[in-house]
Homo-oligomer: A and B are copies of this chain.
């Protein structure tokens, strides 16, 4: 049982986009993207910064989605982490990631896909992954 963790940093998103500025709008987008991808929501929590900016997570049966926005500079970070326990959820995670990217419209982006160990793996060595 392995997991895949998709990490994005998105630059040049439209600064006046309500999806970046308002927690309710971003929460709705995230829940819809997860639902459309066929992942299972078990909870969420979003926080509205003042005067703007949002931080939020959607808890999944398969692990989690996390997102943070800095609308004043059009910057967003996003995490989609799924465990592949009974089935391979990688494509579903990628679908969520792409739906959020299509909605938030970054002009430039940085992407990392981190393979996470599963409960069967033994690996005692600390490591620093290439950033």
- Mask of A93-125 contacts with B, CB within 8 angstroms, 1/0: 000000000000000111111111111011111
27 interchain pairs, CB-CB under 8 A: A9-B117, A9-B121, A11-B121, A42-B55, A43-B47, A55-B60, A55-B63, A57-B64, A57-B66, A64-B66, A66-B81, A68-B83, A70-B119, A75-B119, A77-B83, A77-B116, A79-B79, A109-B123, A110-B121, A110-B124, A110-B125, A111-B126, A112-B114, A114-B131, A116-B131, A129-B129, A129-B130
Task: Give the interface size class of chain A.
Answer: 35 or more
Inter-chain pairs besides A112-B114, A130-B130, 5 sampled, C-beta below 8 Å: A55-B60, A63-B68, A108-B123, A110-B125, A127-B130
- In the bound complex, what is the Cα–Cα distance between A108 and B63 (angstroms)? 21
Distance between A46 CB and nearest chain B CB, rounded to angstroms: 8
Point out the residue from B7, B64, B117 that lies within 8 Å of A55, measured CB to CB: B64
Please name all residues of chain B whose beta carbon is closer than 8 Å to the beta carbon of A129 when the two chains form the complex: 112-114, 129-131
A31 within 8 A of partner (CB): no
* Whole-angstrom distance between the Cβ of A11 and the nearest chain B Cβ: 6
Give bound CA distance, A19 to B113, whole Å: 29
Known: A3-B77, A57-B66. A115 touches B127 (CB 8 A): no
